[in-house]
Structure 1
Amino acid sequence: MTDTFRPNKAMITITVMTGAVLSALDTSIVNVALPYMRGNLGASVEEIAWVSTSYILCNVIIMPIIGFLSSRFGRRNFYLASVVMFTVTSMLCGLAWDLNSMIFFRCLQGIGGGALIPISQAILRENYPPEQQGFAMGIFGLGVVMGPALGPTLGGWLTDNYSWPWIFYINVPVGIVNILLTMKFIKDPEFLSRSKGKVDALGLGLMVVGLGALQIMLEEGQQKDWFQSDFITTLAVTAAVGLTLFVIRELSADKPAVNLRLLKDRTFTSGTLIGGVLGISLFASLFLLPMFLQQLLGYPAFDSGLALMPRSVAMAIFMPIVGRLYTVVGARALIGAGLLVNGVSFWQLSRLSLDVGYWDIFFPQVWQGLGFGLIFVALSTVTLSTVEKKDITDASGLYNVVRQVFGSVGIALSATFVTRYETIYHSTLTEHITEYSFTALSWLDSLGGMFFSAGSDGAAAETKGLRMIELLVMRQGAMMAYNQVFFMVAVLFFMSFPLIFLLKDEKKA
């Protein structure tokens, strides 16, 4: 790192983190507004989901090739163009006149936003000396992890108090400030070489086809009953073939569009895999907890967002502290502690019931805030620690796209498992509700008497009692399904623990 970068280190940090927060926030801010958008745009439930899917899909496609695009056009120019595209298309999303225009603008917004997080990480790595790398990644983690966590809360507030277009309009003034800061403070590093050679069009095409098919399969699989659908089966085959050919092409090309040879580095590869586990658990919990609070406990959308705030606040408190501890304790100890803390926190969630109070949800989230903070800061630092400076932009793109794709896997699998376990547990519980069950008959008599006292005749009272028991069984089955999926996430954290021994121990290095 040259001394040129150090005088404006604080302003460079503010500049790139502004872009990273904008990009991370827009992965989840639209979710609570989808029902309102559906009515205004005249879309079905399946169609309106593409407003969220299209953004994530284009994020995933652009992330692996940011190194290639940065070397071809200059990283500063590419970053500036990405911020401009994100800002302009945010305005166009708010002005969208129908579903097709909305999806088109969201795709462009995803292309612009997808480059902001990896480039921000690369720039922060370059502008902080080795002893401050943990601190830099603590700042980076605040934006990248808290953005999706705060998105539903901010989106709910804007939608309730203004209207859904404001979840996009809010990006515009911040984006303009980011453009001005980028023009003033961001420069290309001296070691970044500009390449004007032949474009690896075949590799790019295979990547787009493979990753695109995989992402659409993950987003649509649950709604279409997975491999019972010919469409999902076709996507799975396309993704498998496309990604296999893509890997073969990139490993054999002289100048590949995506530098997969970086995966030969043991620390980078194991760190990227742990990042995938982090993506699965983070996105799965962001998906499951609001559903649990709204569907089973009856929380409004905004209140469910507020109920998830303890985790975000805990991350905001712990991440800078963890950044300071990194050079003292080392990566393995911090990541190992984070995996164990998160495993315990999800195990606590797997023991919830329908009678939970606020504090039953509060403390597991605080532990998750600590656990995610421990993992993310140390992992973001150590994963890129063995990568050469000239390859950091490529490596950052790979690292972030794996986390994003695994996050989509986490959402898809958690939705599928919740649905399937609901069916299984509902069936199991109803087996015990028979005319020979003393408990079931007592409940039915009690409920029937209550409805009879309220004015219903005998037959109507019995029917209402049966419906009430069915509702109770459905809610209990759903609760057990959520418990099961939370337990599976806990097991995933514990199973990932051995991967930490493949990482370079920064403390001993």
Structure 2
Amino acid sequence: MNSVQKKHSSNWAITLFTIGVFMAALDNGIISAALTTINDSFGVSASWGSWGITLYTLGLAVSVPIIGKLSDRFGRKRLFLIEVALFGIGSLLVALSSSFPMFLLSRLFQAFGGGGIFIIGSSHVLTTLPKEKQGKALGLLGAMNGMAAVLGPNVGSFLLDLTGNWHWLFLINIPIAAVLIILGIPFITETKASSTKRLDFVGTIILSLAILSLMYGITNLDAGNFLGSFADPMVYGFVLGGVILFILLVLYEKNLEARSGDPILAYSLLSSKVFQWTLLIGFFSGGLLAAVIFIPSFVEQFLGVSAEKSGYWMTPLALASGVGAGLGGVLVDKKGPVFTTIISGVISLVGFALFPLWVTERWEFVIASMIAGVGFGFLLGAPLNVLVSESVDNSNKGSALGTLSLIRQIGLTLSPTLYAGFIAAGASNIGNEIKSGLAAAGISGSGPAFSDISGMSTSQLYEAVEQIPDPTIKEIIMNAIHDSIGKGFGNLYLTAAIISALVIVSILILSIYRKKSLQKEPVKIPLA
């Protein structure tokens, strides 16, 4: 195959991986828009219905590191085709589900298919492309991954309005999966690490149980009482169990590697300082992505956008994150992953800090959200993946990328509970703010009109305020509600700005270890 044919084949492969990444990442956002409709169709409560998302998240968390390792061992093209097929079959089973238990099992099956597509695509890029072209390709994959996750609810709402049937949200995946398989067979080149060692079944089982236990404990956290909920056995029991299993995994993998086995998660990889700090930044990136989840609530409750249109205000941020991911990839190729991550942290810090410090109008929100989107978009694809790939050999690239994705998923799962606690704290203070405002105006706030405020949602509060005939009281109460909600969201996005600062600190520390590791590499002297 000549250079022109190789370039053509490579472009086709990256295009197919990009479409696959977009399809898989879009799915969890799509279902959130139709969750109420799905719950009603099966006659289940909202708490039970949320398991449609929870099980998908757990399935992703378990499958990502395992699929990454399997793709290294058995071939990235083969695993990509298998993953796409599983995702397509899972989507069909979800759409055809005649009962809620079947729906949940189908979602779990679908997650096993969707979990590894981004990892396999990234690993393929890092294995087949020259270093100076990897950033751009990884940036493209990251852009699709981030944009799909953010745009998912909007796409779901659009399809639901268009078809009136939630089944089409999943049926639409089937022709896409079929096309990816048909075109993937001739256009994707097979790559894999040479290994004849036995697969680490024991390590795989321990890793799966550890992830399930930890992630399940995290999903049981109470947003209204974040710290207090750690005293719940359903939280600390599973989190502690997960931690213990991870410790056992590390000890087992260390012993297996010492015996020249092929661990599912190499101990030498976990002991690398560069890899450890990259994982920490990956965890922080999950926290930044989680802050985006609350954008619709912010524009609805703080900026007064209607609930039906609040999701569309994610669009500027989604587009900006896609641009940021692309620019981040180009910048990695030109300036390197460390410099790119520093720039990412600085831009994210500015963008998220503008929310509590500046945003009061909708046009200000658009500017702040686009700045934040560009900032965290830089982290979505290229820099962290390149940092990870530098510290491992070809046989562990998929495993390392899968571990990074798992840590990001943990950050993405844990952070919303913390953020929701800030919002709940702001809302709980509305009653006190109203009483203080009324007292300052010489008006008693103990009458029946103000007695049930604590039990009302924000939308119910605004509706109740509209019924108040006195314009002075109405203005005082509206200002109190707005200020309390603003403080809650302000603390949320201030925390996101602090996380951005921690990204900068972490990458600076990582750069020190990276320089030391590069200096330790032996110099190859050409023989005469």
For the criterion TM > 0.5, the same-fold answer is: yes
Aligned partners of 2:320 and 2:370 also within 8 Å: yes
Q: Deviations over 1:357-402 (max 9, x none)?
A: 3212100111022212333333333332332222211111111111
Within the candidate set 332, 340, 346, 1:340 is matched to: 346
Give, in angstroms, the shift of residue 351 of structure 1.
3.2
Counterpart-to-counterpart distance in 2, 1:352 and 1:42: 44
Secondary structure, counterpart of 1:96 in structure 2? coil
Paired letter, 1:363: I
Within the candidate set 256, 265, 272, 1:258 is matched to: 265
Counterpart-to-counterpart distance in 1, 2:330 and 2:408: 24
Provide the residue aligned with 1:247 in structure 2: 250
Structure 2 residue ranges without an equivalent (≥5):
451-466, 520-528
Give, in angstroms, the shift of residue 148 of structure 1.
0.3
Give, in angstroms, the shift of residue 405 of structure 1.
1.4
Change beyond 3 A, Cα 1:186–1:481: same
Q: Does 246-255 or 483-492 show the bigger shift?
A: 246-255
Q: How high is the sequence identity, in percent, across the aligned residues?
A: 23
Q: Deviations over 1:65-93 (max 9, x none)?
A: 12432355443322211111100111111
Aligned partners of 2:324 and 2:376 also within 8 Å: no
Aligned partners of 1:352 and 1:483 also within 8 Å: no
Counterpart-to-counterpart distance in 2, 1:296 and 1:217: 32
Aligned partners of 1:89 and 1:109 also within 8 Å: yes
Counterparts of 1:215-230 in structure 2, within 5 Å, are 215-222=215-222, 226-227=229-230, 229-230=232-233
Counterpart-to-counterpart distance in 2, 1:109 and 1:116: 12
Give, in angstroms, the shift of residue 307 of structure 1.
1.0
Q: Deviations over 1:232-276 (max 9, x none)?
A: 233233223222222322232233222242133333332222122
Counterparts of 1:100-119 in structure 2, within 5 Å, are 100-119=101-120
* Aligned CA-pair RMSD: 3.2
Aligned partners of 1:6 and 1:127 also within 8 Å: no
Q: Does residue 485 of structure 2 align to residue 478 of structure 1?
A: yes
Within the candidate set 406, 412, 424, 2:411 is matched to: 406
Give, in angstroms, the shift of residue 229 of structure 1.
3.4
Counterpart-to-counterpart distance in 2, 1:367 and 1:183: 40
Provide the residue aligned with 1:361 in structure 2: 365
Structure 1 residue ranges without an equivalent (≥5):
449-459
- Compute the TM-score of the two structures, normalised by the length of structure 2: 0.84
Counterparts of 1:108-147 in structure 2, within 5 Å, are 108-147=109-148
Within the candidate set 274, 280, 283, 1:276 is matched to: 283
Q: Deviations over 1:289-312 (max 9, x none)?
A: 122223454545552222111122
Provide the residue aligned with 2:55 in structure 1: 54
Q: Does residue 383 of structure 2 align to residue 378 of structure 1?
A: yes
Give, in angstroms, the shift of residue 130 of structure 1.
1.3
Aligned partners of 2:437 and 2:480 also within 8 Å: no
Give, in angstroms, the shift of residue 421 of structure 1.
4.2
Aligned partners of 1:384 and 1:395 also within 8 Å: yes
Give, in angstroms, the shift of residue 277 of structure 1.
0.8
Counterpart-to-counterpart distance in 1, 2:318 and 2:224: 33
Give, in angstroms, the shift of residue 106 of structure 1.
0.5
Q: Does residue 333 of structure 2 align to residue 327 of structure 1?
A: yes
Q: Does residue 390 of structure 2 align to residue 389 of structure 1?
A: no
Give, in angstroms, the shift of residue 474 of structure 1.
4.6
Provide the residue aligned with 1:184 in structure 2: 186
Provide the residue aligned with 2:526 in structure 1: none
Provide the residue aligned with 1:420 in structure 2: 425
Change beyond 3 A, Cα 1:145–1:273: same
Q: Deviations over 1:23-48 (max 9, x none)?
A: 21113221111111111111111111
Give, in angstroms, the shift of residue 443 of structure 1.
9.1
Aligned partners of 2:427 and 2:485 also within 8 Å: yes
Provide the residue aligned with 2:204 in structure 1: 204
Provide the residue aligned with 1:164 in structure 2: 166
Provide the residue aligned with 1:456 in structure 2: none
Secondary structure, counterpart of 2:28 in structure 1? coil
Paired letter, 2:501: F
Counterpart-to-counterpart distance in 1, 2:383 and 2:395: 21
Q: Deviations over 1:186-242 (max 9, x none)?
A: 3332x51244625432x2232222211221222232269523533223323322322
Aligned partners of 2:218 and 2:414 also within 8 Å: yes
Counterpart-to-counterpart distance in 1, 2:322 and 2:233: 45
Within the candidate set 290, 296, 319, 1:290 is matched to: 296
Counterpart-to-counterpart distance in 2, 1:106 and 1:440: 57
Secondary structure, counterpart of 2:441 in structure 1? helix
Change beyond 3 A, Cα 1:107–1:296: same
Change beyond 3 A, Cα 1:51–1:251: same
Q: Deviations over 1:76-130 (max 9, x none)?
A: 3222111111001111112222221111100001111111111111011222211
Provide the residue aligned with 1:65 in structure 2: 66
Secondary structure, counterpart of 1:253 in structure 2? helix
- Compute the TM-score of the two structures, normalised by the length of structure 1: 0.86
Q: Does residue 528 of structure 2 align to residue 497 of structure 1?
A: no
Q: Does 487-496 or 298-307 show the bigger shift?
A: 298-307
Change beyond 3 A, Cα 1:107–1:464: farther
Counterpart-to-counterpart distance in 2, 1:297 and 1:40: 33
Counterpart-to-counterpart distance in 2, 1:227 and 1:402: 20
Counterpart-to-counterpart distance in 2, 1:441 and 1:429: 13
Counterpart-to-counterpart distance in 1, 2:221 and 2:250: 24
Provide the residue aligned with 1:452 in structure 2: none
Aligned partners of 1:72 and 1:196 also within 8 Å: no
Change beyond 3 A, Cα 1:104–1:294: farther
